[in-house]
Every structure is written in C-alpha cells, then in structure tokens.
Structure 1
Amino acid sequence: MNKWMGALAALAALAVATPALADYPEKPVRVIVTTVPGPLDAFARAVVKQMSEKLKQPFIIDNRAGAGGNVGADMVAKAPADGYTLLFALDTTLTVNPSLYDKMPFDGSKDLAIISVPVTYSQMLAVGPNVKANSLPEFVQLAKTQHLSYASGGNGSPSHLTMAAFLANAGLDMTHVPYKGTGASVVDVMGGQVDSVFAVVSGIWPQAKAGKLKALAVSGNARSPSAPDVPTVAELGYPGFNASFAYVLAAPAGTPKEILQLLAREAQAAMNSKEVMDLDRQADYTPTGLSPEASAAWIRDMRKRWAEVITKAKITAN
C-alpha cells in the first residue's frame, strides 16, 4: 500500500510540474548583472532583448555591482531555483574570485547552474609611444635591462591577471600600478605616467591606430579579427599562453534542467541575431557556441588556471 501511495504521489507531482515547465516563463524574468552599465551590461541587454521577444515575457535587467561581482552572484545563488532570477556576470566572479577573496558568500561550483559562456575576449598588450619597444621581444628585453611599470583596472582585474600571468611566463618583474577601472589606466599609459598595460582590444586598438599607443601582442589563443596583424603572445615565443575572459549566464543551482536547456537554446539563438553579432564585432568578442556542459567545463578549467597565477603572484583583492 505504501509503495502504491508513493507512486501516486510521484505521478501527481509530475502532473503538476510538467505544465509549469511547459508554460515557462509565465511572468517577467529578473536578470542580475554584476556591473554598472558598461560592456557587460550592454551585452546582457542585447541578448536578453532577443530572449524576451522570443519567450514573450520581459527580461528585466537589475544592476548589482560590488565585490568583483560577488554581491550580484550571491543574490542569484540564494534565489528560488525556478528560472525567474538569472545571472549575467564576468567569468572572473566564478573563476578568479574563489582564489582572490579570503571568504566567498557563495560557492560558485555548487550554488549556480551554468547556462552559457556565450563569448570570450582577449586582452591586448600596449606600451606608451615613448617606450623604446616596438615588439613583444623588444619589450621583454627592455624589461630585463630597466625596471618598467604596468597599469591595470585594479587588483584581480583581467588586465592585472593577464600581465601577472605573462610576467610569470617570461620571468620578469614589473611594478604594478592599479587603477579604479581600465579606462583611466590606458589614459595614463598614453600620457607616459605608466609604461604598459593589458586591456581589452576595443580599448587599445583605436588608440594604437591613432599613434597614441603601440600594440605589441594579444593574450588569447587566436589573433583579434579587429587587429589581424597583431600577433598573439603564444606566437611570439610563449607557446600555450592563453589569457582569455568571458561573460557567463547562470541560474540558481537546482533550476529544472528543462528550463536551463530552454534558456541555453534561446541564448544561443540570440547570439545569431544581427544586433548581437554586430555588438560582438564592435567589442571584439568571440562567440563560443558552447553547450551548458561545455560552458561549465570551461569555467572549471579557468578557475584552476587562475588559481595557479594568483597563488604564484600573491594577488589579493586589496
């Protein structure tokens, strides 16, 4: 009798759950973006606009910046796992912060379900016009003979991590000058206050074309479509070097698999829209086409890779 009653209960639960999944979404979806308006926010809005139009419900952006994305990600990690609260974050919130912060308010490997890593992007190494180096080998040689400095968007930022990884690879030591944002750091490299910087291609290349900076190399495993003549670091004597970053779409752990799959399909469809493809070209993003499983594997791999860099370089959030 107990087994029979249990089977009936399971069937009843399935009967209730199935229509709910079939009707999702039945109300507006809240999308927490972990930065103030800027590149991530613009990308998230372009993607969820397409998803909203297809799924016939508003996807409402809620900007919750702070602690390298931990504030917004923690809100999503603790939200109901029903598909109505999503996260759009820099991958560093999940790949870098666990090693950067002494204590995390959530466990990214357990408390969040990865839907997609839709795009990756590289950093471009540049020096000021007065620095006597016109190539990466010349820059390395110069750094061996005189003490140079490098700017970044702040401790633990992609620009900081990329340079830390390169310095460890090349066996160099340089003075780190952190800024509150990459924009200000690039300005001071142009002005000669700091010697060098790794920053997003879209922030470096226009200035390099204008003669205000000298672009030396790209950090990813492929050349930038925007600057095809600029070689990768790996091409220039550092095989295997790959410092790439990404955006991540996620949901609370425990969100029904059917909802995650639906959101992943719609996110991928949004990537194929003209609006998002145009944005990718302008911002120098590389679409990945990764499945949720492959996206989660990418996050795990980068978490391990950056943990090694952070430990070796003794980087902290302060």
Structure 2
Amino acid sequence: MRSTRFILAAALALATSVASTTWAQGWPGKPVSVISAFPPSSLDVIVRLVDGPFQAAFRQPLIIENRPGAGGNLAAEAVTRSAPDGHTLLVTVDTVATVNPRLYRNLKFKADVDLVPVIYLANSAQTLVCHPAVPVRTVSELVAHARSHDLSYASGGQGVPGHLAAEMFLAATGLRMTHIPYKGPHAALQDLMGGAVQCGFLSTPVVMPHVKSGKLTGLAVTTARRSPIATELPTMSEAGIAGYEATFGQLLLAPRGTPPAVVAALNEAFGAVLTQAEVRDKMLAMDLEFVPNTPEQAAARMHREAARWALVVERLGLRAD
C-alpha cells in the first residue's frame, strides 16, 4: 500500500511539474529506452525508482538496456546515433563525457558534444579497499607497504571512476601499482576478494558489505565528506592525502538535437521523483545523493568536470587506446 501511495504521489508531482508543451509535441509517444553504459548497477536502480511514477503520469515505461563496454563508449555511441526525439537516453557515470573524449583518442564521436546533459541524478564515491592478506589497516600503512612491495589494484575498467581515483592517489603519493581493469566493478570485486589482485578503488555500496564482514579491508573514501554508509572510514584527505577529492556524478543524457522542451520535461520528470522523501532515503542508503539541477546547470557542471579531468589525464599521461 505504501508503494502504491508513493507512486501516485510521485506521479502527481511529476505530472504537475512537467511543461505542458511536451504534450502538444506528442512526447512521449512510445516507451522511452534508457541505455545504461555499465552492467546492472545503481544506475538501473535510479531509473527503476523513476519508472513507476513516470508510467503513471505518461502511460509510457522507461525501458532499461545495459550495454557495457569500452568504459561506457559503446552505449554512448549508440545513443549519439539514435533519433533526437526524447525516446532514447543514456544513463551513465559522467566520466563517459568528461574523461573518455580525452582518454580514448580514436572515438568516432564526442560524448561531450554529441550528447546533451538532461540532469545529474546523483553524486557517488569510490572506496579504497585491500585484500585482508595485505598487512595494512590505514592509508599511511598502505603507502609504506607499497614502497617495498609490488602491488596491483583493480577497477571497473579503463577511465572509470575507480581508475581515475586510483591514479590520483598514486600521483599524490608517488607510488607505482599495476592497474588491472575489469569489465565492471563486480568482476573486479570477485578477483579482489579471491586475492588475485591486492587492492581496488570500487563503488562504496559494492564493497561495504564485504568490509563489514571482514572479507575486505576498507581504508578510505574518495569524497570530501565521509560516506553515510561508511562513517567509520576516513576521507582520503583525513587519512593524510592532503587536498585529495574525487567525486563522480551519475548523469542522464540525450542525443544532440533533442528539442529543448523535451529535455526540460525529462529534467523535471526525473527531478520530481528524486526529490520525494522515500526515493531520497533509498538513494542515501546506496550512498547516492541527488541535488536538484536544471539542464543548464548539468551542462555547466559537466564542462567544469571535463576541464578538471583533462588536466589530470594530461598530467598523468593516461591513455586507453
């Protein structure tokens, strides 16, 4: 009953917030395909949270399709080639648009040009973890241990948040560790827990159950503030890496040329649901925080992040092809 009440309340908020001009344009006139750039993850969860109220308000569903690969580029390219009518969208970590155009030099498209930001859905963190066989309990102990031992670290792929967070850490400490990229965080987690790789920078909700059970050692989170689901872990800055901060965004984008009224309607639709108390609580339980933003604000943030990460990619000489 509570879920039904929530859907009806969220649908009412959604329907009353969306610009009426979109109805005149006949949008949405069919199911809206939301292509995820990664394997099933919190990206899917966010879309599913919005789907119920979206269907109730617009009589059309949000259909999720996971198309992982090449750091999110496969999904991004597919969306850039779709009709710009608001019926095909990309949901992804923002690195697809802020980092990949500089990390991958042979792309046939530019995500930061060929895609239009609709809304930032959430902010998220990575957590530095190690296998319990590595004799460290703090970041400073890891730094000391890594200076005399060959270590490797796992991430969910080239150019994804875990890769970037790790390279920032290595640059700040002057350490060398071998990067082992995987096809998604869950594959990386399996090898990390099995001891095939010693450390990893992975999504906080993915690793924290294993940290709490003692199967992994949690050292620090990458954000400027402690995570609400990992309050016992310090930030990297608190752990001694001065000035370190790596926060990433989960972003909804549409093909370039999508009518501004449709982009605005999508922004309002997702925003109306994500500000509902029940949704906010569910997202915070996954270490995801939504801050309301307009398409213009989303675009401005995306371009700021692109400029920031361009400096990091160039300084570290990172390449993925």
* Normalised TM-score (structure 1): 0.85
Moved more, 201-210 or 253-262: 253-262
| Gapped regions of structure 1 (runs ≥ 5) | 1-17
Describe the SS at the equivalent of 2:147.
helix
Do the aligned partners of 2:237 and 2:245 also contact (CA within 8 Å) in 1? yes
Superposition map of 1:1-318 within 5 A: 21=24, 23-273=26-276, 276-317=279-320
CA separation of 1:29 and 1:208: change in aligned 2, threshold 3 A? closer
- 1:85 counterpart letter in structure 2: T
Q: In the TM superposition, what is the alpha-carbon distance from 1:45 to its structure 2 partner?
A: 2.6
Q: In the TM superposition, what is the alpha-carbon distance from 1:73 to its structure 2 partner?
A: 2.0
Q: Hey, what's the Cα distance between the residues in 2 that align with 1:129 and 1:163?
A: 19
Moved more, 290-299 or 262-271: 290-299
Moved more, 305-314 or 86-95: 305-314
Q: In the TM superposition, what is the alpha-carbon distance from 1:21 to its structure 2 partner?
A: 4.1
Moved more, 28-37 or 18-27: 18-27
| Gapped regions of structure 2 (runs ≥ 5) | 1-20
Q: Hey, what's the Cα distance between the residues in 2 that align with 1:71 and 1:242?
A: 28
Do the aligned partners of 1:155 and 1:315 also contact (CA within 8 Å) in 2? no
Q: Hey, what's the Cα distance between the residues in 2 that align with 1:183 and 1:80?
A: 32
Describe the SS at the equivalent of 2:128.
strand
CA-based RMSD = 2.4
Do the aligned partners of 2:123 and 2:289 also contact (CA within 8 Å) in 1? yes
User: Number of aligned pairs?
Assistant: 302
* Normalised TM-score (structure 2): 0.84
Question: Identity across aligned pairs (percent)?
Answer: 39
Q: Hey, what's the Cα distance between the residues in 2 that align with 1:181 and 1:111?
A: 24
Do the aligned partners of 1:152 and 1:178 also contact (CA within 8 Å) in 2? yes
Do the aligned partners of 1:121 and 1:284 also contact (CA within 8 Å) in 2? yes
Q: Hey, what's the Cα distance between the residues in 2 that align with 1:180 and 1:73?
A: 16
- 2:101 counterpart letter in structure 1: P
Describe the SS at the equivalent of 1:246.
strand
Moved more, 24-33 or 160-169: 24-33
Q: Hey, what's the Cα distance between the residues in 2 that align with 1:231 and 1:302?
A: 24
